[in-house]
Structure 1
Amino acid sequence: MGHVISIVNMKGGVGKTTVTVNLATCLAKDRAMRVLIVDLDTQINATLSLMPPLNFAQLRKEKRTLKQLVNQTIQPNPQSHFSIHDIIQRNICNVNGLDLLPGNIELYNDFLLAVLLYSKTNSSQQDFERNWNSLENSLIRTILQPVISSYDWIFLDFPPGDNLLTRSGLIASHFYLIPTKPEPLSVVGMGILEGHIKKLKHYDRTKIELFGIVFSSLGHATRMATKIKNRVSADFGEDKIFTTEIPTNVAVAKAVDQFQPVVLTEPTSTGARAFTELTREFVQRFSKAVGASPFKNS
């Protein structure tokens, strides 16, 4: 059974997608793991970090994105014969074991999901709320169920903010990893996230556990950054802070324009080396957490 991990922060621009695609690529390329990336963000940054826009446009035209799976789960069509196996893009970027479930710029927001739920029931408000909670609990789990045993890791790349897909992804996850920057707004995003997870746990809707916190550097040391790091360490525990930090690096930005992770485009760059080290620490931490490492070549 694979482990599902949410890469999440309620604040945007903190490096969630960059961490997702590079960490997943390193696990597949260097550790011989089977890894699936699921793009839950309507900005489709993870998708476009792994394939050119023309390729995505073709998949969208062929209706081979996450949107179709969401729609099929909410409104099952007995005449439809496609499944998640038809939509997953295998060995993306020519990396064996690295697969992608593409996102969609037209992925449902909460309003459209509410309309869909209302359209399939003529029930009361109370019944609608029950159906809504049931959908939150089951949507992402149902989508992933046919393939979860095929992977060592499934990485969920989230949009900033809170919506049904985010909550459903958190409920479906075993762990969550928080990328952040040592700046006030990023830490506020972490606090909001912790509040949402605490609420989900209070109602026994998830057993998700914090895997760790990864800092991206601001490119220069400041007194404020040091103060924020110390505060985060005090709040979450020093053992939850990854020692590896992701530096500001031109190669990482350039890789985005090549629609590939920096660990493939410039593997000797400072940024790529940081992700290689992050992967090593990720493996170590997981091995320590479970008592035995499932990783090959570790």
Structure 2
Amino acid sequence: MKKVISIINHKGGVGKTTTAVNLSKALALSGHKVLMIDIDPQGNLSQNFGFENPSDQLINALVDGKLLPVQVVDEGLFLVPSGIDLIEAESSLVNVMSGIARLKRALAPVRNEYDYVIIDCPPSLNILSQNAIIASDSVIVAVEPTKFASSGLDRMFELIKDAQHDMNEDLKIEGILFTMVDNRLAIQKYVQQLVSETFDDLPVFETVIRRNVALQEASFEGKDVFAHAPKSYGAEDYEALAKEILQKEVVNG
């Protein structure tokens, strides 16, 4: 099954980009062809692979209608990069007809070339995030289990429901993914339980991403965790996440 998955949260620093990088690589290592799309003007996903505000980037497809500038990253792994220029797209897309569907339109000619498309979203609920949600089959909500973890999540889920109602009725929530988890901290376990109970109608991944220095080191070196530390907890957790997603596909047909 071909699938487009957005990784979202209205907050920064919750592991969205780390998840985009390492989930994508885990899926590629399992034999799937994966396209990553960076729709965050900060461009952290792109920078992780050495693309620093490239001249040929996502904004050209969103605003000018050009083909997606797909770059080869590794075997089975591809990237549509972005950078600070993408900020210009926000005002442009607000003022054009069907501005929230530009990514879906740009992705249409190539989406069937890939088994998975993973979209790294900005830490906001702006028109770029809306574009990602409209273009997706499902979303992963990355949540760090801190005191204010659930703050604003209800607004984000409202946005998802609006997208389902207005333009993407088949959109699913793939699951809430807890990131940067330290099992030694009782407060984190409490927050995980609180979020799960507050949004008890939504799926929660069994896999959690443990806080692991190897993930930070890999990002600093511009690598995925499998290349940097293949036997680390970080690699173990993202491999488990990929397997859980793939198993859902088998179960759901």
Whether TM exceeds 0.5 here: the answer is yes
Identity of aligned residues (%): 30
1:199 is displaced (CA, Å) by 2.3
**Does residue 43 of structure 2 align to residue 4 of structure 1?**
no
Counterpart of 1:232 in structure 2 is: 195
Q: Compare 228-237 and 248-257 and name the one that shifted more.
A: 228-237
Secondary structure in structure 2 of the residue aligned to 1:67: helix
**Does residue 70 of structure 2 align to residue 88 of structure 1?**
yes
Displacement over 4 Å in runs of 4+: none
1:274 is displaced (CA, Å) by 1.4
Counterpart of 1:168 in structure 2 is: 131
Question: Which structure exhibits the higher relative contact order, with contacts defined as CA atoms closer than 8 Å and separated by 6 or more residues?
Answer: 1
**Following superposition of structure 1 onto structure 2, how do residues 1-298 of structure 1 map, counting pairs within 5 Å?**
2-29=2-29, 31-49=30-48, 51-52=49-50, 55-56=51-52, 60=54, 63-73=55-65, 83-84=67-68, 87-90=69-72, 92=73, 95-107=74-86, 108-114=88-94, 117=96, 131=97, 134-136=98-100, 138-237=101-200, 240-288=203-251, 290-291=252-253
The residue identity in structure 1 corresponding to 2:63 is N
Provide the C-alpha distance between the structure 2 equivalents of 1:246 and 1:20, rounded to a whole number of angstroms: 13
- The answer on whether the counterparts of 2:23 and 2:241 sit within 8 Å (CA) in structure 1 is yes
Q: Deviations over 1:177-204 (max 9, x none)?
A: 1111112333224222101112223335
If the length of structure 1 is used for normalisation, what is the TM-score? 0.78
- The answer on whether the counterparts of 1:41 and 1:157 sit within 8 Å (CA) in structure 2 is yes
Q: For structure 1, list consecutive stretches of 5 or more residues without a partner in the other structure.
A: 74-81, 118-130, 292-298
- The answer on whether the counterparts of 2:67 and 2:106 sit within 8 Å (CA) in structure 1 is no
The count of residues paired between Structure 1 and Structure 2 equals 252
Provide the C-alpha distance between the structure 2 equivalents of 1:39 and 1:264, rounded to a whole number of angstroms: 21
- The answer on whether the counterparts of 1:36 and 1:101 sit within 8 Å (CA) in structure 2 is yes
Q: Compare 148-157 and 256-265 and name the one that shifted more.
A: 256-265
Larger helix fraction of residues: 1
The residue identity in structure 2 corresponding to 1:253 is Q
If the length of structure 2 is used for normalisation, what is the TM-score? 0.91
